[in-house]
Amino acid sequence: MKGLRINTAWLSSIVGLHAAELTNREVALDDLFSASTVHRLIDALWGDRIDRELLGSLWPDAAVDARVDHAVTALTSQIAPSIAELADRMDLSQRHLRRLVERDTGLTPKTIHQVARLHHAIHDATVTSRAGLAQIAASNGYSDQAHLGRDAQRFSGLTPTALIERASTPASAEMF
């Protein structure tokens, strides 16, 4: 079984539903797309890389809310601003920012930030093998190693060590 990871800012526009309707659900591609689009996606998945160009060619009319795209980019950066700071910079209330992001991605800004922080921590651990988990946790903004462990369990169902091992294998390098 393969999965398709779509930039969260594009999701709502591509599938034609509010992303919140798809949150925490497993949905078959043929429930969302035409048979020809599904075949093109499956063909592309064999290469394990789908990028903005392919998505743009499949859905040329897809329009991404620039505010959501900006918010997701900021929240997933290595040095992400706080949600309050981001909302202020975007001249939005925190509540309005949350509604926009959740509508188009199915995730709250806080969840996007937490997943990105875990991603950065796991990536750091795979490239910096000499650093311990406590050091990796601290350098990625976790209050302690246990906090990193809770996020790893919550978002992947794995311990940080198991997640690092899985992310370190060549076949899984792009998975997380």
- CATH class belonging to 110-172: mainly alpha
Q: How confident is the model at residue 1 (pLDDT cuts 50, 70, 90)?
A: very low
pLDDT digits (tens, 9 = 90+) for 117-163: 999 999 899 887 678 999 999 999 999 999 999 999 999 999 999 99
pLDDT, one tens digit per residue, over 25-64 is 777 777 887 877 776 766 665 444 455 566 667 777 777 7
Looking at the chain, which residues constitute the CATH 1.10.10 domain(s)? 110-172
Largest Cα–Cα separation, the chain: 48
At 121 the pLDDT is: 94
> What average pLDDT does this structure show over 73-82?
91
Which pTM was predicted? Answer: 0.66
Give the integer Cα–Cα distance in Å for 3 and 26: 10
The per-residue pLDDT for 127 is 85
Sign (positive or negative) of CA dihedral 120, 172, 107, 65: positive
